Structure 1
Amino acid sequence: MKYYMKSKLFKLKEDFWIKNDKEEDAFFVDNKLISVGLQFKMMKDDKILYDVKQKLALLPKYEVIENSEVVATLNKKLTFMKDKMTINCKYGELIVNGNLFDRKYKIYKGNNEIADIKKDLFKLTDGYTIDINFEDEAFILTLIVIIDDILDKH
C-alpha cells in the first residue's frame, strides 16, 4: 500500500494526517504539544494503535507502546558514516538501510523489503512517499515518524 506523509519541515509539534494512495486520510499522528522530546499517538478511526515516547537519556531513546506494552525500542544514534539502523521489535529485527540523510531508505525484515521510503523533492511541502508491503502498516508508519524525528535532530 502506498502512503504520503509530511516531514517535520518546520519542526512544530503539530498533528497531521498520513494519506493513502487515494489521498484520503488514513492514519492520524496526534503529537503531544507540550513535552520533553517526541511524544505522539498513531491513530486510526479514533483508536490509538501505538503510543510513542522519547525517553531522556544520553542518546535519544524512543519507545513504541501498544496496549501498555513496549513493542519496540529505537535508541541508536545515527552517524554520517553509517546508513544503517537496526530496530528490535515485536516482529523481530528490522533493518533500515539506504541514504538516510537524503531521506531515501528501505526497511527489511530478513531479506524481505517491507517498506520503501522516498522524500518528495518537488512538492510544496516537505514529505515522503512510502510503499509498505507488511501486515502492520501502522507500526511501520510509526517507525518512519520516529526516524524522521531522529534525522531532523542531526
Structure 2
Amino acid sequence: MKYLVRDKIFGIGDDYWIEDEHGRHAFLVDGKALRLRDTLEIKDPAGRVLITLRAKMLSIRDAMTIERDDQTLATVRKKRLSLLRNHYRVSLAEGTELDVTGRVLNREFSVEHDGELLARISRKWLRVRDTYAVDVVRNDADPALLIAVAVCVIRMAERERGDG
C-alpha cells in the first residue's frame, strides 16, 4: 500500500493529511505548537493518536524517538560511517533494528529488517510536486511506524543540512 506524503509540511503547528493510494485520508500529521522540543503526532482519521515523534534534546548525536501510548517504540539515529548514502539505524524497544539507507534528501530510500524490504520511499512514482510516497511492501508491517521512520530520517537529514 502506498501512502502519499507532502514535503515541507511538517513544521511546528502544521497539520496535514497523508492519503492512501486511493486518495482516502489515512493519517493526520499534527505538528504541536508551543512545545519545548520538536513534536509531531500521527493520528488516525478519527483523531486518535497512533504515534508521537519527538526530537531528543540532550543527545550527543542527533536522535528522534517514536512513541506509542506514552512508551518509546523506537529511537532513530544516524549511523556514524555513511560515505555515499545516508544510513540510519532504528532501534526498536523490543530489541530488533531497522536499517534505513539511500538518498534521504532526494526522497529515495528504503527501510529494511535483516535485509528484507519493509518500505520504499520515493518521489519517482509521482507527478505531484513536493510529494513522496511511502510504499509499505509487507502486509504485516505497521504503516504508521514506517511513515514515522520516514518522517524522522527526513527531518534529521534536513536539520543536519541546515534546513530545519
> For this structure pair, what is the TM-score category when the shorter chain's length is used for normalisation?
0.7 to 0.9
Deviations 1:14-68 (A, max 9, x none): 1111100111110011111223442011110211111111121343221111122
Counterpart-to-counterpart distance in 2, 1:74 and 1:65: 11
**Contact 2:88 / 2:153 at 8 angstroms: preserved in 1?**
no
Match of 2:128 in 1: 123
Higher relative CO (CA 8 A, sep ≥ 6), structure 1 or 2?
A: 1
SS in 1 for 2:33: coil
Counterpart-to-counterpart distance in 1, 2:91 and 2:38: 19
Deviations 1:72-120 (A, max 9, x none): 0113267872422111114611011112232200110112101010125
The offset of 1:122, in angstroms, is 4.0
Counterpart-to-counterpart distance in 2, 1:111 and 1:79: 19
> After TM superposition, what 4+ stretches of structure 1 lie above 6 angstroms from structure 2?
77-80
2:143 pairs with one of 132, 137, 143: 137
Match of 1:46 in 2: 47
Change (3 A) 1:21 1:53: same
Match of 2:23 in 1: 23
The offset of 1:71, in angstroms, is 1.1
Equivalent position amino acid for 2:137 in 1 = N
SS in 2 for 1:75: strand
Q: Which runs of 5+ in 1 are unaligned?
A: none
Match of 1:55 in 2: 56
**Contact 1:18 / 1:29 at 8 angstroms: preserved in 2?**
yes
SS in 1 for 2:30: strand
Deviations 1:106-146 (A, max 9, x none): 1101121010101257423x121121024211111111111
Counterpart-to-counterpart distance in 2, 1:78 and 1:26: 34
User: Kindly, what percent of the aligned residue pairs are identical?
Assistant: 21
Equivalent position amino acid for 2:47 in 1 = D
Counterpart-to-counterpart distance in 1, 2:115 and 2:158: 28
TM-score, L = length of structure 2: 0.81
